[in-house]
Chains A and B, each alone.
Chain A
Amino acid sequence: MPVAVILLALAALASLSLFVGAIDMSPADLWRDPEALRLMLVSRLPRTLAAMLAGASLAVTGQIMQVLARNRFVEPMTAGAGQSAALGILAATLFVPGAPVWIKMLIAAGATLIGSVGLLLMIRRLPPTQPLLVPLVALVYGGVIGAAVTFVAYQGDMLQFVQIWLTGELSGVLQGRYELLWIAGGVALGTWFIADRVTVLALGDAAGRALGVNVAAVTAAGLAAISLVTALTVVTLGAISFIGLVVPNLVSRLIGDNLRAGLPLTASLGALLVLGADMLGRVVRMPYEIPASAMTGVIGAALFLALILREPKHG
């Protein structure tokens, strides 16, 4: 079972992650040194959990996005959803600076939803015979919204904030500053309930209707999950790309596209990748850190290229 192996690796990596960082620490220190225990509870543990929650939920919602877009090469974070989330949180910060975090969060999620619906409306008009047109259009679409974000931020003198939202990294994760990600994890877990219906939609909307699936409701639920997870991740960590692209493609190769059956593998693989990327980022230039999103970009791109090159030819 690949899931068991991945879970084992994840557990090992997670325990290791608790002891890797700029401040040296060993398991024994936890007993001797109250300061070490505090560091563990306030920083290392939250950071490890945040990486796993974000990775798992990004991977799961990336897969849903690919079914809804009928294309394997799109990913919410780069296809306009991530940028829309940044636009939403930027607008919230500019126009309702005093609002509580959850209001800002809802504004960001709303913006993400609008951005994702816009993308779907656009790419569903593209000819199905040109599958590479979809990621191309998605990339341009994401780029345009990203440019709008930069423009608005420049006008509002907020460029340094935007950098935080557009570059995902976990060095700032502390107890009390990452808990929104539990909601993202909950949403990803909740997609288990629509997973089989989403899989039916992979045969097309018409086939879905023929099987009595409420196509509009399932599509809406999927988009809501994508938007919530994307917005929550951008707001707490910043954009982390490639996870939602690479993991679903990997899982598809390994065990196929039955979403419900694949959910545990997708989630644990996503968690493993982000945690691994963050840990690598912590150690390659000690004591400095490389943002997790830069690492996932490198690892993800390499994995993705390997996948494409190894894709068995058919037809």
Chain B
Amino acid sequence: MISIRNVSHAIHGAPILHDISLDLPRGGVTALIGPNGAGKSTLLSLIARLVKLQSGAISVDELEVGKAADRVLAQHLAIMPQSLTVSARLRVGELVMMGRYPWHQGRPGAEDREIIAAALAKFALEPLRDRFLDALSGGQRQRALVAMAYAQGTDYLLLDEPLNNLDIAASRHLMGLLREMAEREGKSIVIVLHDINYAAAFADRIVVMSGGRVAADGAPGEIVNDGLLRDVFDTNAEVRLIDGKPVVLV
């Protein structure tokens, strides 16, 4: 379980997160949605200790963020940040292998290579394995970054807007993979999404953030309605139920 207790955060004196307390239980897909600037990426960065915690406490299972060793935490939790631009000229296979770093510490073994091969296959990257990242399309690069986080082999996977640049087939494929990982491998996945329909269709649970606070939290059917779109997103879109699932008409 990821447990977030009374976390507040300010950047250059400007408050960004206000006293957030949230439990993300083990297993399943949790979608984090909210308007631009709501603080979703900031919250993920704090969980993954990419940014130093200012107040409050976060723990991942028995590991306390900020106290646990970086390497140990890296074996439990992987993150794909929103703005990871890789300027280094690396091949897809090399990048995905970097995800194994917490385990092999620079000396990859047979097991690491097997996991890499599986990850490349899972994300349909095998034909691109020896391509340089700067010779990929935006969507292909995005897929390679998700594969790298997956290859890290952690129970917890934080993905910040992984659907960026993906076409509809790739988006549905990726969301399907994430569901499968949650169900078959028991992984806990937290994913920032902007398309509420994807969140409603694939997530077990939706957490809505707004203005640095948690505005709503629950199953998609309970959360997604006209009121949410009006109050949180400030737009008048209609929500209909199709097969019992909410669908936003855009």
Contact = CB atoms under 8 A, between A and B. Distances in A.
Q: Do A and B bind each other?
A: yes
Interface of A: 67, 70, 196-197, 199-200, 202-204, 206-207, 209-214, 252-253, 256-258, 260-261, 314
Given A256-B88, A256-B91, 12 more contacts: A67-B88, A196-B106, A200-B101, A202-B90, A203-B84, A203-B86, A206-B50, A207-B84, A210-B50, A210-B74, A214-B70, A257-B88
Given A206-B50, A212-B73, A256 B87 contact: no
Interface in B58-108: 69-75, 78-79, 81, 84, 86-91, 94, 98-99, 101-102, 106
Given A196-B106, A210-B48, A256-B91, A203 B98 contact: yes
Interface magnitude class on chain B = 20 to 34
A290 to B, nearest CB: 34
30 contacts: A67-B88, A196-B101, A200-B101, A202-B87, A202-B88, A202-B90, A203-B84, A203-B98, A204-B84, A206-B45, A206-B50, A209-B49, A209-B50, A209-B70, A210-B50, A210-B74, A210-B79, A210-B81, A211-B99, A211-B152, A212-B72, A212-B73, A212-B101, A213-B101, A253-B89, A256-B89, A256-B91, A256-B132, A261-B94, A314-B134
Contact of B75 (A212, A214, A258): A212
- Which 9 A-B residue pairs are closest in the complex by CB-CB distance? A212-B74, A212-B71, A202-B88, A196-B106, A257-B88, A212-B102, A206-B50, A211-B101, A256-B89
Contacts of A210: 48-50, 74, 78-79, 81
Contacts of A70: 87
Interface string B29-67: 000000000000000010011100000000000000000
A260 to B, nearest CB: 8
A207 B83 CA distance: 11
A199 B78 CA distance: 18
Most chain B CB inside 10 Å of its own CB: which residue of A207, A212, A213: A212
Contacts of A260: 106
Contacts of B132: 256
B119 to A, nearest CB: 15
Nearest to B130: A256
Nearest to B78: A210
Nearest to A204: B84
Contact of B90 (A204, A209, A253, A256): A256
Contacts of B98: 199-200, 203, 211
Nearest to A203: B86
Given A209-B50, A212-B73, A252 B89 contact: yes
